[in-house]
Structure 1
Amino acid sequence: MTVISFIDTSVLCNLVPVPGRDQNAERVRSEMSARLGRKERFILPVTSVVETGNFIAQLSDGRLRRETATRLHDILRLVCEGKAPWVLHDLAWDRDFLQQLLDGADTLTSYVEHAASQLGAGDLLIINERLQYEQRSQIRAAIWTLDEKLGSYS
């Protein structure tokens, strides 16, 4: 059975790479290669793109900011052209999605409780995107993350 994984911001920042957030770039690239060799499929959630883009926009060096934005742009262009090793997740940003987020997706803990225990809204959004994917496809998916807190929900 093919493994399907949602790519978290912590992984995407190492793949781009985003200066200051790419401490594990070599390890992540090596792991990506190994996972692709095992025919793992990847989904790029909107949250990872937004958060990575925000980290790029916050870089203080304008030259690095432009170079890094160009790398993310090129990756996203490959996604649009169907040439990247991952696909987009079609997401309905609607009342049901928002209610699932507030309810904590499938974690049995509300957004407020997650926030109080330091699991951010971005991480919970990825969990929720995965839940919607699983509900539509009836296929279990993992989350590839370097974040220990989010990883506990993978």
Structure 2
Amino acid sequence: MTFIDTSILCNLVPVPGFDQHRDEVVREMGERLNSGERFILPITAVVETGNHIAQLKSGHDRLTAAQKFDAVLRTVCAGQAPWILHDVAWDKAFLEQLLNGADTSTSYVEHAQARLGAGDLCILTERQAYSNRSRIRAGVWTLDEALSAHA
């Protein structure tokens, strides 16, 4: 089970200006699919990717990327492989886990000082919630150097 980071999702959609590694990501996605890997889109990746799309200067690019992103999200909603839809509560417990650094043993403040953002930490917190509930250890697929240290 693998959580998909924004850096990967933007290459899969693709989102112009955020898809510099598209060929590599698509190739690796094929390899992962062939090995039977399943994927979860964390809330952060959905929000950040949607924001990147909305901020594209070209109306044509915005429309094309939004339509492709819509198709991906509908596949997730339908529970079609390779996507797994999971529930996560945005509540006091989630925020406390985020502030405590999820399962990294490092606080949000320390992560921020080391340039790991709150969005990345939300992905790690969501992964921890999933793993606690399902008893399945999940990874994070990312191109982000700071996040990959905890993937």
Q: Distance in 2 between matches of 1:81 and 1:135?
A: 24
- The CA deviation string for residues 17-50 of structure 1, in whole angstroms up to 9 with x for no partner, is 0000001111111101101111111111111000
1:112 pairs with 2:112? no
Amino acid at match of 1:61: S
1:148 to 139, 142, 145: 145
Compute the displacement of 1:83 (Å): 2.4
Compute the displacement of 1:67 (Å): 1.1
Contact preservation (8 Å) 2:79, 2:85 = no
1:129 corresponding residue in structure 2: 126
- The 3-state SS of whatever aligns with 2:104 is coil
Aligned residues: 151
2:36 to 25, 39, 47: 39
- The CA deviation string for residues 24-81 of structure 1, in whole angstroms up to 9 with x for no partner, is 1111111011011111111111110001001111111111111111110111111112
Q: Distance in 2 between matches of 1:33 and 1:13?
A: 16
2:23 corresponding residue in structure 1: 26
User: What 5-or-longer segments of structure 2 have no aligned partner?
Assistant: none
- The 3-state SS of whatever aligns with 2:84 is strand
Q: Distance in 2 between matches of 1:94 and 1:136?
A: 16
- The CA deviation string for residues 67-108 of structure 1, in whole angstroms up to 9 with x for no partner, is 111110111111112225212231111100010001111111
Q: Distance in 1 between matches of 2:39 and 2:68?
A: 19
Closer, same or farther: CA 18–84 of 1 in aligned 2, 3 Å: farther
1:16 corresponding residue in structure 2: 13
Q: Distance in 1 between matches of 2:10 and 2:27?
A: 15
Moved more, 140-149 or 85-94: 85-94
User: What 5-or-longer segments of structure 1 have no aligned partner?
Assistant: none
Contact preservation (8 Å) 2:108, 2:121 = yes
Compute the displacement of 1:119 (Å): 0.4
- The 3-state SS of whatever aligns with 2:115 is coil
RMSD: 0.9
